[in-house]
Amino acid sequence: MAQPTDTFDSYDAVGAREDLSDIITTVSPEETPFFSKSGKGKATNALHEWQTDALRPSGSNAHIEGDDTAASARTATVRLNNYTQIIKDGVSVPDSDDTTNKAGRNKDLDYQVQKAVKELRLDLESALLANNAKVAGSSTVAREMGGVPSYMVTNVSGGATATEATGNGVDARVAGTGRALTQTIFDGVMQDIWTAGGRPDACYTNATQMAVVTTFTGSNNARATIDGAKTKVINAVDVYMTPWGTVEFYLNREMATDTMFIMQSDKWKVAEKRPFVRTTLAKTGDSTKVQIVGEQTLVSMNDKASGAIYDLT
């Protein structure tokens, strides 16, 4: 079929209105599982401190009638600390934006601030989990919090040649020889945590190692098609039960691909010196400037309750 001669169609028309959706779509991740699950506390100084303690080892305890009581040797508490880290970002938008009609948002300033808050939360999650030693800072050097690996000492499985952190955020660990994750390695760390007195409930990992976890064997490991009409197949592990405890898995995009953390959640906190706050900065021209700033640090209440698996290929 041919179009009749002199037909005026949409290709000839001038002045058609733009068809722009009022929905802005993003696929960028914004989940912060470790920050969300950790306890929250208050920091009142750039150097935030806390104490840990432990019971003496158990042993034979039997006495004859009427004997004198001798005191057992007692150990002092251990004083730990971490530095608060200032995390911030800024947004600058021309004032002309206020009178511009845009799709998907009313004002770019508010929209960009909302984006910045999500980005800062991801920066915080990354800092909490980073293999980073604490930094006291100075007038020319930014303060930095020590991340989880710098406090993880007791129940650690690393590759050959690795140099593990000494604790209290003093130093970062040095990676060792890579090796594949196995169920034996995972169970070994779970057992170590239990032996040390921990009750782990959460495992943070990335997609690479989670794919290995789905191959762990167990009494209910086999997964099959459960709805023939929808050809639905499940190959997932949400909860892993062992003789040494039950952990729930949390995929975390901020995790290093060669690392897994097995944690007792109530032994980790995020202490806030300043929550994220939006502040309008002084006007210096025909634009509006806003900063979003917060100050937080990681608190490892007792690393014996958690464990880490490193150097995974």
For 177-225, write each residue's pLDDT tens digit.
999 999 999 999 999 999 999 999 999 999 999 999 988 887 554 444 4
What pLDDT, on the 0 to 100 scale, is given for residue 23? 47
**Cβ-based burial of 151 (10 A; exposed 0-12, middle 13-18, buried ≥19):** buried
CA distance 37 to 201: 11
Q: Which residue has tokens 């600058």? A: 92
Residue 274 lies in a domain: yes
Residue 74 lies in a domain: no
Residue 16 lies in a domain: no
Which stretches of the chain drop beneath a pLDDT of 70? 3, 6-30, 97, 99-106, 219-237
Residue 4 lies in a domain: no
Q: Residue 82 corresponds to which amino acid?
A: N
Edge-first strand order for the sheet with 39-42 is 39-42, 268-280, 287-300, 85-94
User: Whole domain around residue 117: which residue ranges?
Assistant: 33-50+79-309
What pLDDT, on the 0 to 100 scale, is given for residue 159? 95
What pLDDT, on the 0 to 100 scale, is given for residue 26? 46
* Number of domains within the chain: 1
Residue 127 lies in a domain: yes
What pLDDT, on the 0 to 100 scale, is given for residue 25? 47
What pLDDT, on the 0 to 100 scale, is given for residue 224? 42
CA distance 251 to 242: 20
Residue 5 lies in a domain: no
Residue 98 lies in a domain: yes
Residue 92 lies in a domain: yes
Is 80:49 a contact under the CB 8 Å cutoff?
yes
Residue 100 in tokens: 């511009």
What pLDDT, on the 0 to 100 scale, is given for residue 108? 79
What pLDDT, on the 0 to 100 scale, is given for residue 226? 46
What pLDDT, on the 0 to 100 scale, is given for residue 198? 94
Q: pTM here?
A: 0.83
- Residue 200 backbone dihedrals phi, psi, to 5 degrees: -65, 145
Is 173:163 a contact under the CB 8 Å cutoff?
yes
